[in-house]
Amino acid sequence: MRLAYIIALTACFNAAACINSTITDDNYAFTFKYLQKYGYLSKNVVAIPAQRRNDVFRKAFKDFQNYYDLPGDGTPNNKTLQFMSKPQCGFRDILKHGTKASLSKWPKTHLTWHFHLADETELSTAQAAFDLWSQHSALTFERSETPNADIIISWRRLLHYNTNAEVNGALCSVKFDGPGNVLAHASLPTDQAGFVSEVHVDGDEPWHIYVNKHPADKFSLHYTLTHEIGHSLGLAHNRRKTSVMFAIQPDQQYPVKLDQKKRHHRHSTFVR
């Protein structure tokens, strides 16, 4: 698979024209895959005429740098690659190629949630995350003891399955990558009848499952669930670093709080 991406990347642009010699082929393969995964680069880039592919790649890389206020001119560099490797959400920044993620909404204000095979501590932490959103929206949440719920949270690893296979299909379309980088992902509401939003949390990461301050070598489950529930409620990523919907996991994830600028969601943003 890695070789395939290197070959595809080589086909897309003339490396000698734009590559910093300190960047390896593996890093360029990672970059190419990353830009596609997060919506900056079309999956159909190999179909673009050869003379335009380099420009398309550079524009995608520059769009990423602009999105996160990173210095650069569209040429891959170590600083941007290091930023791409930070712990983060697996949800796309750009939902459709060339289109910024837009809000989706639920057709109701009372939602049920279920944390599959969770223990009491994990349930309590999930409840705290939902409580944050209920305090700043018109939505109410109720825990379901069965997977028959609007939002289902579960621990998953690598190539993994959905909890509600009947509605969402058996296999999740996005796999995890082991320890590091992607921590979790979730799905936006849709118009599909009986839609279930699934929140998948990477079980290969070192998690602090309590609501108190996390140690430096662990990620806050409370913070991560609050972020992913935001996606389940219809929110895209936010470019403000102070927002809980910022894609990159901050070093300090405690205390967990919603961005003050999101309080207008209290009225109708989450509901059609």
* pLDDT score at 255: 94
Is residue 46 predicted with pLDDT exceeding 90? no
Q: Is 228 a catalytic residue?
A: yes
In whole angstroms, give the CA distance from residue 30 to residue 195. Answer: 33
* Structure confidence by residue, pLDDT tens digits, 74-104: 888 889 999 999 999 999 998 764 444 446 7
171 burial type by CB count under 10 A (0-12 exposed, 13-18 middle, 19+ buried): exposed
Weakest-pLDDT range from 51-60, 118-127, 130-139, 210-219: 51-60
More confident residue, 33 or 14: 33
Q: Which entry of 142, 145, 166, 228 is annotated as an active-site residue?
A: 228
Question: In the chain, pLDDT over 90 holds for what percent of residues?
Answer: 62
Q: 245, 238 in Cβ contact below 8 A?
A: yes
What DSSP string runs through 169-214? -SB-SS---SSSSEEEEE----SSTT--EEEEEETTS-EE-SSSPP
Weakest-pLDDT range from 29-33, 64-68, 203-207, 247-251: 29-33
For residues 113 and 186, state if they share a domain: yes
Residues in the chain: 272
For residues 78 and 198, state if they share a domain: no
For residues 79 and 122, state if they share a domain: no
* pLDDT score at 47: 66
> Does residue 90 sit within a domain?
no
Of 38-47, 51-60, 101-110, 154-163, give the range with the top mean pLDDT. 154-163
| Alpha helices for the chain (secondary structure H) | 2-12, 15-18, 25-37, 50-67, 78-84, 120-135, 165-168, 221-232
Q: What rounded mean pLDDT belongs to the chain?
A: 85
* pLDDT score at 97: 47
* pLDDT score at 270: 63
The reply to whether 89 sits in an annotated binding site is yes
Domain CATH for 224? 3.40.390.10
> Does residue 123 sit within a domain?
yes
> Does residue 5 sit within a domain?
no
Domain count, the chain: 2
For residues 79 and 109, state if they share a domain: no
Is residue 8 predicted with pLDDT exceeding 50? no
Structure tokens at 124: 């309590």
The reply to whether 245 sits in an annotated binding site is yes
> Does residue 238 sit within a domain?
no
Range of the domain at 70: 25-85
> Does residue 250 sit within a domain?
no
Helices (H) and strands (E) in the chain, counts: 8, 8
> Does residue 160 sit within a domain?
yes
Contacts of 105 (CB under 8 A, 6+ apart): 189, 234, 269, 270, 271, 272
> Does residue 221 sit within a domain?
yes
* Structure confidence by residue, pLDDT tens digits, 101-154: 446 789 999 999 999 999 999 999 999 999 999 999 999 999 999 999 999 999
* pLDDT score at 15: 37
Question: In the chain, pLDDT over 70 holds for what percent of residues?
Answer: 82
* pLDDT score at 13: 42
> Does residue 153 sit within a domain?
yes
For residues 32 and 145, state if they share a domain: no
The reply to whether 160 sits in an annotated binding site is yes
The reply to whether 26 sits in an annotated binding site is no
Provide the pLDDT confidence category of residue 11 given band limits of 50, 70 and 90.
very low
* pLDDT score at 6: 42
